[in-house]
Amino acid sequence: MRNLKRALSLALASVMVMGLMVVGSGASYVDVSSENNVEAIEVLQKVGVMTGDENGKFNPDANVTRNEMAVIMSNMLDYKVSNYAGTAPFTDVPSWAEPYVAACYTHGIISGYDAKTFGGSDSVTAAQAALMMMKALGYFQYQSDFGEDWQMATIREANKIDLYKDVNATAVAPMTRNDVAQLALNTLKSYQVEADNDTINVNGNGVSVSGGSVKYYQLVSNDKMYKAIDDRTGLSMSNVSGYTKELGEDLYDGDLECKDETDDFGRPATTWSYKSSTIGTYSDSADQTWTGKVSEKDLYTAAGSAAYDNYKWTVYRNGEVVEDMDRVNGKDVLDYGKTSSERWQETGNGVLTELYVDSTEEDVVVTIIDTFVAEVTKVEDNGDDYTVTISYKSDKPSKAENEFDTDQKFSKEDIVVLTIGGTEIQSMAKAEIVEGTVSSVKDNDYVKLDGTTYNYNRAYCTTVINSAKGLVNLDDGDNFTNPDVDNEVVLYLDTYGNAVAIEGAEDSVDDYLFVTGVDSAYGDVSAKVVFADGTEEKIDIDEIDGVDAYWKGTGDKRVPTEGHIYKWNQSGSEYDLESASYANFEQILFDASNGKGKVERDNASVYRGSDRIGTADSDTVFINTDDDKVWTGYKNVSSQEDIVGAAVKDDGVITILFMSSSSGSSAEDDDFVFISGTDPEVVNDNGDKLYQYNSAYINGEKVEGGFIVSSSSAKDDIVTKGLYQVTKRDNDDHATEVKLVVDATADKKGNYESGALKAFESYATYAKKDILSLNDGDGNLTAGSQSDFSYNNDTTFVVVELKKDNTDVDSVYVGGVSDIETDAEGRTGVFVVTVEDDGDDTPMAEVVLVIVPDEDTVIEDDNNNGDYKVVSLSGKKIELTVDKNGEFTLKNVKVQKGDENYENLGDVTLSAKIELYNKGWDELETVEEDFTAEKSVVADSNGIKFSSDLLSSGDKIRVTLTLSNKTIGDIEFFTGSMTVPEA
């Protein structure tokens, strides 16, 4: 499900660091971040007061000229500027700005420097802009309002009504578009006034004497449209009470609305909407913000004694109420007391803590926001934004989503840090990376790389959000770890610069090459070599084991040995080589004198002759020096016999093996391939007919060039979309025999074909702490009755998303354990395809197939009552849909008696039991509607309608339909789950 979110403004005190995070995509601009006045910019964009340029930029830091300010005021006050064209008295206004300046001048909003000079190209100052806004509200209607200094008078009165709130400008400083937007929003939120001119005017002999002062009174009304932005009340000049008339309420006829709510983190916030369309939810500015340790004394001091003694406190962590801290007394929030220096609620480095004190409502809200770690597994370009799919590497809150829509592009395999409010991802950023040698470490506290200290994010020093302490280990399945001194590591940092995850920089196989030939010219030595990536080159050699390489003649030479492995370094265009004895690595030779080698796919043992010489693992690199083909992992290498070559062995493990063999690949090699398109392209290959499946995936990755089947019998076995096992191949590695393992398609009733394992009959009862448990042994495809499996970061989760009521495949990609979902009946489709060792108690899963059901699956039940049954119209299926207002449409329903249409159905009652999903199905209500059938037809293709008033946008519901009358009795005929669309 797409999670389109509006940009959430962050607390001002945390903006410098949190501004690095990417918030969800919305209607904002590419150059607007949480450092800017996002709320003001987006509201003004929606109502058309301030918009961006043709490049999608708002240019928040650009200064606003007086000409541009006239445009903004005209847009805000909805002046029809064409009516004023040519009426401005100023001679220095360009033609494009003249109608706007003229309109504002006519209405008394602006004035010039003198009778002929407007100064439109000058930047507008904070005092000038505020005076324009206050005149729009009704202030400064008389010259006496200004006193001796118009700027001081403007600033004084503007501050009284909070017009400068969150505006960062001094009186005479130029205003940016960012600050003008905030000033304009503050104005729209302010009430309008009218003047009571209490001055004394005595005219005699041409002399005018003035005294007294001008008073301004609120404009009020009892019309409810004046509650749209603020429901405060006031008194008019005539002492009448009513709702104050905010400028934004008047200008937009109550269609611009502002409501006090909470955001997804639990922070006090404001939600703006225009003409019933939500603009966004924006958090208030916090009274205090911390990104480090918060002591109980810190919290008490920031909140104050009145709040501690008298107010109700609520504490949220990542959008969820902390246990026993929902509207409690202040003393119940502080375990050790208001003077204690003890750390409160595991706050600390990288944990954002914000305090909000509402003295009016006598409430205190504290929000705590942690940082989570994930890997990007999929990026979908939607045209105007991107949908990013992630797999969590840290633990995550229950039900947390794994998709995020953003304007910023991420790449697959990016390690990202993110925040979560409730169940939704709120912000995401690519983790900063530092590399170096560990010089010291304190477990679960800090690590020093080359002398620089990196503190752990506090959440990774405790088990407050994770199942164990330590940094997220991105190397293997030990989820959390601490490094050792002298380790070469890659450290991943949060947006505050604290460590959250780590990779160990292990010895690289890229340091080795294999010599296949030696040559000399004029005494210089060159060699033909194969590198670890399979690249074959001819290189010039400078040194071997620290001594110059040379070739002076027979018997007088220092050259590398053909058929041996060397470590290498490059200096300029020449190479320095180090032999096994010099570089101190163990080399295993395979040749006629030592014995030839043998490797087998899925067998970790490596043989020389009849002796087991070492063990390969999932990281072992195999290079065929004949065709430069490279495999990683013993599960992937083609079986080879009579190997000649060499290998490097480290602690009994073969890390890299260069080999040449005439035996070729074994005919018993197997693979698992997911085929989502069963119509192959027929290819003629030198007279041989090949069948190329272009929608085929191995380990979740689309097969480049297609999956090739070379036998018609194998082609005939591929009849449905699903997972196939290749049981036999030809010499070209093309499949000649395949076997269907998992059928991923269903018929219209959600039933799976009987010839294969049935999806959704295996259940993941839990998938956490590195253990995947299935309650149906048949869910495992390799180990018989095995039901518990280990998994780690090397486990590949191949995710298949279904569509069209589970009858078709929507997409295939590499995901994670978090992609396991349930269908309407609570079922999952999880299949362990391959394991490392099926003899283990909990075998390590290598490839896991995850079938994700269509969220809006409907199940048509062929129920009947005696001779009567409810069925679909011929050639169609029963359809039930719901719109954003909770109105249902049912189509294609009729009643049969036996095999014939029952033509005398008459009046019937349709009952709809509606259940709401909230960590399980809870019955919401049962709706009943009476209809008159057209002969046997209850609902034709146009449909019949019924509705529920209890549904909201985003609700996941399950509906069970029953049809009744005196003749047919009660027939339950339909069950379906769906989501109420967003409003």
> Do residues 625 and 495 both lie within one domain?
no
What is each CA distance from 473 to 161, 415, 745, in whole angstroms? 54, 12, 37
pLDDT of residue 232: 93
5 found inside a domain: no
Is 51 contained in some domain?
Answer: yes
pLDDT value for 26: 46
| Contact criterion met (CB below 8 Å) for 763 and 775 | yes
The domain total for the chain is 9
Q: Are residues 540 and 476 in the same domain?
A: no
CB-based contact 396:410 (threshold 8 Å) = no
Q: Are residues 76 and 116 in the same domain?
A: yes
870 neighbors 835 (Cβ within 8 angstroms): no
Residue 947 sits at φ, ψ, to 5 deg, of -145, 165
Q: Work out whether strand 956-965 and strand 907-917 pair parallel, antiparallel, or are unpaired.
A: antiparallel
Cβ within 8 Å of residue 203, ≥6 positions away: none
Same domain, 37 and 142: yes
Strands 621-624 and 653-660: parallel
Query: 601-610, long-range: CB within 8 Å, 24+ apart, which pairs?
Result: 601/634, 601/635, 601/636, 601/637, 601/638, 601/639, 601/666, 601/669, 601/670, 602/634, 602/635, 603/634, 604/634, 606/647, 606/654, 606/657
Q: Do residues 414 and 404 lie in contact, with contact meaning Cβ atoms separated by under 8 Å?
A: no
Does the residue 414 lie in any domain?
Answer: yes
Structural domain of 901: 858-979
Residue 263 counted as domain residue? no
- Is residue 323 in some structural domain? yes
pLDDT on residue 751 = 43
* Inside any domain, residue 949: yes
Distance, in Å, from the CA atom of 640 to the CA atom of 241, rounded to the nearest integer, reads: 93
Nearest Cα to Cα of residue 745 among 655, 809, 661: 809
Q: Structure tokens of 584?
A: 């101190």
Residue type, 341: S
Note whether 890 and 811 are same-domain residues.
no
Task: Report the sign of the C-alpha dihedral through residues 441, 446, 450, 451, in that order.
Answer: negative
Are 23 and 114 in a shared domain?
A: yes
Within a domain: 841: yes
Last residue of a domain, which of 823, 852, 881? 852
> Quick one: 28 and 154 in the same domain?
yes
- Pair (454, 436) in one structural domain: yes
The whole-model pTM stands at: 0.51
Q: Specify the pLDDT at position 888.
A: 94
Q: Could you tell me if 16 and 137 lie in one domain?
A: yes
**Mean pLDDT for each 10-residue chunk of the chain (983 residues)?**
29 30 56 87 95 90 96 96 95 96 96 95 96 95 90 93 89 92 96 80 49 82 95 91 95 94 93 93 92 95 95 96 94 90 95 96 96 94 92 89 92 95 93 92 91 94 91 76 82 96 72 88 82 91 90 74 91 88 90 90 90 91 85 85 91 90 40 87 88 89 89 88 80 81 61 38 44 50 53 81 74 77 61 64 76 58 69 84 93 90 92 82 89 91 93 87 92 85 79
C-beta separation of 513 from 532 below 8 A: yes
Q: Which of 556, 584, 612 is the last residue of a domain?
A: 584
Buried b (16+ CB within 10 A) or exposed e, 446-468: bbbbeeeebbbbbbbbbebbbee
Q: Are 37 and 178 members of one domain?
A: yes
Q: Which residues of 695-717 are buried (b: 16+ CB within 10 A; e: fewer)?
A: bbbbbbebbeebbbbbbeebbee
Please tell me whether residues 580 and 719 are part of one structural domain: no
99 membership: H or E segment, kind and range: helix 98-106
Element (H, E) at 575: strand 574-578
Output phi, psi for 963, to 5 deg: -110, 135
Cα–Cα distance measured from residue 869 to residue 894, given in angstroms and rounded to the nearest whole number: 9
If asked whether residues 471 and 526 sit together in one domain, one would say: no
- The residue among 565, 584, 603 that closes a domain is 584
Spell 776-790 as b/e; 16+ CB within 10 A means b. Answer: eeebbbbbeebbebb
CATH number of the domain at 561, please.
Answer: 2.40.50
Alpha-carbon distance of 182 to 35, in angstroms, equals 13
User: 92 lies in a domain?
Assistant: yes
Only one residue has tokens 């509607």, namely 929
